Structure 1
């Protein structure tokens, strides 16, 4: 009976274990020196109490070492292993699902192995992958002979350090992969693993260089595995130095970048097509010049610097000599010369003259004439016909070369016109604010400057005179009184003749004070008459009304016809006369007021 019970219990436990499932990831990736976390997940239909959990490390050779143990009673980290001081394990249970997480601190290269998680009797395992990013690729140029030849030379080496796993190095030229089957190249690779397990990779490029490789861009590319997959890293670009003989040398004017003229700073340069550049020497008309590496500098050149310049090169590879030459032309423009066809610049009024402008130049030139900033003529001859005083002044001739704008010069000639006086205009009169004063103006041109004399009739005197002079013009302004008709003449005289102008100055008519008084008086009289007439009309109407009333009363017998009645009538007549006398006096007062200029006497005021 007891045997049957024990057998039943064993069957139950085996069924429970058979229902337990343990799972882990295929791989866990971690960078060197970081913390790795390896999870182990297990599940059962029913978890009863604590389960037995163990962790093992399995090396690539298959050797398996227990590094952790835990059951219901104890939890132990195995001592004497590489993980004794670097691991810890955490557990968690959520219903029928449990987890055990193995944490490894300070991951090393040799930690890249399998880790086995055992729960009860069920196991699962995962692979820990460790990565270390390599250093930046370092380029070291090879000790090749830079001369172009038919054999492979060591061009450069590319090296990276501290990589895990081992990286791969490839070479590129002008962004194209170099291949031994195509580019006539050879690679020498070395891979070294240091005690920590990290790799140092080095690749040396051997290549048969050509002249076309002088400007080619070379670099190496490192490909390596890290978390997430394959990554790549490029080195700095470098160039291959090549030495080859010079087969052609060229001499040219480096500056200025136009035709050369006197006064310029000229740089003549010589260049060869080899590498390195050859040694140069320069000559001018068979005379040696001072050289600055590959050029000569000529300061403030003159036409004497024109001529043949020769450059000779001495190659530094095969010591051969080559030459090239150029013809330098320094253009010039001599000072401008102006001639007037006579021995003097003093010309007569009305004369004809031709001005000629010339300048010797190495280039075709154009000539332009100016006066007071205005263009007069294009051409080297300027004809001045019938000279007037307005044509006197400074004439500028400018000569320039159209093909070289910087090459231009100018000169000037002052023309003086002499002659007798010429009246600019008739005598002009300007009235002044004063009652009878006027200004008279006389304007005359001439050279030499003429003298002006005024002649006045009617015994007039000049109250004042103001004179203004320029090179050829004199203006005289005088002030006189114009109270009567005045005959005026302005006479201008110089050593070559005279001129005069006449004018009749009429007296100035201005309103007098008497006229104003009459106008005012008349206006006042008219106003007074209007008032008198109105008063008279009103009095007549009143008298008519009064007479009608008296006549009516008389008929009714209300007024006695005696002396007293006559006296009343006489009183009315006397009153009427008084009114008329008062009106007459008012009219006289108005007339007197007009004569006195509308002023009141002090007593009236």
Structure 2
């Protein structure tokens, strides 16, 4: 409390002292009334001072800068300097944004990155204690030129039958400070508002940044000769030390008589429309002169979406499903907009790419079941067919593979078609791989063969499996063999070996992969030759049989001769009935026919002997 009291007494003493000194001392301070600067630039506010009653700068000199608070008459300090002490006040909006320079003639305050809120009074106070105290102020003015004006003409036509001015165009100048002004022109002639002829509506908006956006609407009662007129707007605005103007581009108006009937139809293509087609829509009305049209698509409940068209034709290139909907056309005539329009519904059909599950490739074990699906989203009814190697293997969206075999390995293709629109079709595929241990083709586990000595025998092994099995051969003893054929694919391996039969042979074919093995045994019995001097051959074996048959025939001939001799000697009764019995018995039991194919001479001889034995009745008659 005592310290505060001493400070208060000090400042009271200082005030009385300065007041007394002001009688004989004086300081002059000069500052410009206004300092103008662009938004974002740096502003320099000079403050020049002069002590008239002293020589030079007094020993005690205090410089303070103050800023007037916007919206009130109060002010706050932003800078203080006393001899060597130079302090920028903390906690203000200018902390870190100002810079002050001092010399013997004055001080200069620099404000960096000027903001809109900087448009206010800046006060410079010079205090020399006994040499005087004075302050002056400068008003900092901030300017921001607007963006280029944007003019938008009315797209719909304007009828000459309108009795009141119609909206012709709008003009907007955005982001200026202070507010800009807008002036309308017709063919470079200023338009002055007049009742029943020209109306101008101007307003402004304060943006979040504090800048102004000015917009103006021109209403004009058009005449027939206005169809060739050009309308534009001019924006004028302040800048440091000047006033500038910028003119917009020009827009025209469409002047026509209103139409009473409008028709909209699809010119091409015919029939159903699919994605990718080019659709041509035409609009026709009875306006005079023939009106142009605005094509739009309904966006209920939002406003219609205007589309880019040419005259009375709307071309929709490579349409997609999102292009479907209600289309409208209306004349460019404001009075007819809500009354006369043409409408039509456009339907765009589609078929999405086929989605196959499982994707791309799927491995399954032999004997397992698998279900694959193929779906394609479409606006029309679809049909699905599954193919493998060009052959139909299923119909419908689902393909069931049961008890998988190696033959099921391969690519399965599903084709989705639309019967009502054949041009819509898509396909997908999945590659099925059936995995499993080797399986040798054929059911025999052991193969037994008989072959003549010296013959060459080919042994074959074909194994199926995935991964493709490898085939190896094993022969007993020291048999000489070689592989003469080999073929392998993703799930099949075939091997053929050649071996010369010299003795009994035992061979094993072994098929194996990472999932298992399968074996098959071959047993070859070597058949020896009939004579030791020559190798056995089928032709000579047949000759041995023929020799045996000839010996039998000779024995039969001898037996026949003995019987005939006994008959002549009367040892055998020769009654008719007995003779007939013997004859019948021999006919039934001894009627033998033998055909020898390999030796023609032996055949003839054997046949003669048989006839002699079996036909003794004829022989007796010949006696």
TM-score for the superposition, normalised by structure 1: 0.41
Which of these two proteins has the greater Rg computed from alpha carbons? Answer: 1
Provide TM-score, normalisation by structure 2.
Answer: 0.39
